[in-house]
Chain A
Amino acid sequence: MNRHPGTSGLIFNEPNLWEKSRRGRCAISLPKADVDRVELDQNLTEEAPELPQLSELDVVRHYTRLSQWNFGVDSGMYPLGSCTMKYNPKTNEVQAARQGFAAAHPLAGDEYSQGALKLMYNLEQYLGSITGFDAVTLQPAAGAHGELAGMLMIHAFHAKKGKQRSKIIIPDTAHGTNPASASLCGYESINIKSGKNGILEPEDVAAVMDEDTAGIMVTNPNTLGLFESNIKEIADIVHSKGGLVYGDGANMNAIMGIVKPGEIGIDVLHLNLHKTFSTPHGGGGPGSGPVAVGKILEPFLPVPRIVKELDSYRFVVNRPDTIGRIHTFYGHFSIMVRAYSYILSMGAKGLTDASKLAVLNANYIKESLKGTLNLPYDMPCMHECVFNDAIQKENHITTMDMAKRLLDYGFHPPTVYFPLVIEGSFMVEPTETESKEDIDQFIDAVKAIAKEAKQDPETLKNAPFLTKVTRLDEVAAARKPCLRG
């Protein structure tokens, strides 16, 4: 078997920037002022902020060293998968950095922003076509914000009908943000459990769906990485009582080009551009959570909407049933440029292949590690597979111990302790971009760790050893958080 990618090497210590600061050191030289110096009104001024003073090389080394302490998808396999971020093709960055996009100003006016508007309009069309819906808004700042926008539209829909409803059905395999979004709209969450195969059973939905229930929020594929194959029947049950079906499309990356949510009974769906369309995310970077709707919810979409007239584009705000504006300006534009670049560079077949490979890779890992790790739901998965630590518990080794040890082997840990439906979840999402060689190395590393769990459990409990920072005291960090530098 191949050698594991994890090894040790020289890692540099690095103080914070204020410690490195020396008075008068500077990394930039501004051009000489070509206007006279003018003193500002004293009421407008105060002491200058205390910023570190550093040379260019100080700054370059600082961030380079910090980046070397980190584990990123550019350095190794990252089985957290798209929940955090999948690989971002570099061409997306090149396109987003183009002056016309990077320097576009939101107050420039429609007539000076035709290229940007055209890109947004086309992206809406593409996302509508991929998901099978009539209209799309790009405004929401990220997935959970998209959920809120979608739920506000469902709320507005019932209000328009003249009778608001009070409840919403949410299964235990939905994303944890779903109840929060529903709650912000004033709906009480009615939680239902998934069936024995990890998917929703229509009779469980029928048992709680009534005419005071606004609808259901379904994550499909669900958080166990399983496809909700009863979705059409469930949608019929909800619709028959006048409810609507909210689709959490966070996991759309598994079904692009295969399933169109708009055609299987879902009324409104949000996407996470970072999950499905390879835009940056994680570390607090800007997200983007477009929402797609069918004809019945189109009047409620947030404003402004972009309309195309002949070959020109403009914003329209005058729409009587709109839920209003949900973001300053038009959303996170530079993220839209990256998603647009991804869609165009992949093409329809490429996107379909990406989903197929994401699913194939996850199933390959599931079959290869079944038996090494316990697999609570042994059935074909979508883009991710969920194991747990039931086998290793005999040796008092937990999911956390194995996750930490993976770092020593050169792999980022997978998602742990989520989804909550499974105790000690160890959820692996390889994504479509990992090669078979890299996936085989990962499988081999997990097998080696499972062996260590039996033969040398004490080592696992103290892992990792090769990282700049070894096992952290997470309990102390959570109980006594240090919130200031």
Chain B
Amino acid sequence: MKEINDLNLPEDLKYTKDHEWAKLSDGVITIGINDYAQDQLGEIVFVELPETGDTFEKDDEFGSVESVKAVSEIYMPVAGEITEINEGLEDAPELVNESCYDDGWIIKVKPDDMSQFEALLDKGAYIDMLKG
């Protein structure tokens, strides 16, 4: 397990208290689980994805990540419609461990309310939360 100081938490992402990350680009938000979550879960063996076109409220469970140890739900950082899912995870769930911010992204969302994105934690606030 990594120490907090060893975690890779890019400055340009937003974070949630449930350890998802979110990145805005051209009005679409890409969402995945962060380095802390993938490290805590250990080797991920299955990612349950929603379907394109599904809509969710903020904090709704939209899928789950399964490791050898446990199954963890993943939650919507913002309300919106799923515009794309990372189908590559079906055959290669290990991408979430190997590259949680790039190849291991999970969903893309068209947000209903951009202010929900703005209200997510930045790196500093997320680390403060981890330190409790």
Q: Chain A residues near B43: list those with CB within 8 A.
A: 475
User: Is residue B93 contacting chain A, with contact meaning CB distance below 8 A?
Assistant: yes
Q: Select one of B1, B45, B70 contacting A479, CB under 8 A.
A: B45
User: Is residue B46 contacting chain A, with contact meaning CB distance below 8 A?
Assistant: yes
Q: Across the interface, do A479 and B94 meet the contact criterion of CB distance under 8 Å?
A: yes
User: Is residue B17 contacting chain A, with contact meaning CB distance below 8 A?
Assistant: no
Q: Across the interface, do A474 and B1 meet the contact criterion of CB distance under 8 Å?
A: no
Separation of A475 and B93 alpha carbons in the complex (Å) = 11
Number of B residues with CB within 8 Å of any CB on chain A = 10
User: Is residue A478 contacting chain B, with contact meaning CB distance below 8 A?
Assistant: yes
Separation of A420 and B93 alpha carbons in the complex (Å) = 22
User: Is residue A126 contacting chain B, with contact meaning CB distance below 8 A?
Assistant: no
Q: Is the interface of B mostly helix, strand, loop or mixed?
A: loop
Q: Select one of A393, A400, A420 contacting B1, CB under 8 A.
A: A393
With A478-B46, A479-B45 given, is the CB distance from A417 to B70 under 8 Å? yes
Q: Across the interface, do B46 and A417 meet the contact criterion of CB distance under 8 Å?
A: no
* A residues 238-285 touching B (CB-CB < 8 Å): none
Question: Which single residue of chain A is at the shortest CB-CB distance from B68?
Answer: A474
Separation of A122 and B41 alpha carbons in the complex (Å) = 49
Q: Chain B residues near A400: list those with CB within 8 A.
A: 69
Separation of A474 and B69 alpha carbons in the complex (Å) = 10
Separation of A474 and B43 alpha carbons in the complex (Å) = 10
Q: Across the interface, do A475 and B1 meet the contact criterion of CB distance under 8 Å?
A: no
* A residues 427-485 touching B (CB-CB < 8 Å): 474-475, 478-479
CB A1 to nearest CB in B, in angstroms, measures 32
Q: Across the interface, do B68 and A478 meet the contact criterion of CB distance under 8 Å?
A: yes
With A393-B1, A479-B93, A479-B94 given, is the CB distance from A420 to B45 under 8 Å? no
Q: Across the interface, do B68 and A475 meet the contact criterion of CB distance under 8 Å?
A: yes
Q: Chain A residues near B45: list those with CB within 8 A.
A: 475, 478-479
Separation of A410 and B131 alpha carbons in the complex (Å) = 41
Q: Chain A residues near B94: list those with CB within 8 A.
A: 479
Q: Chain B residues near A474: list those with CB within 8 A.
A: 68
Q: Chain A residues near B46: list those with CB within 8 A.
A: 478-479
Interface of B toward A, CB cutoff 8 Å: 1, 43, 45-46, 66, 68-70, 93-94
- Can you list 14 A-B pairs with a CB-CB distance of less than 8 A? A393-B1, A417-B69, A417-B70, A420-B70, A474-B68, A475-B43, A475-B45, A475-B68, A478-B45, A478-B46, A479-B45, A479-B46, A479-B93, A479-B94
Interface of A toward B, CB cutoff 8 Å: 393, 400, 417, 420, 474-475, 478-479
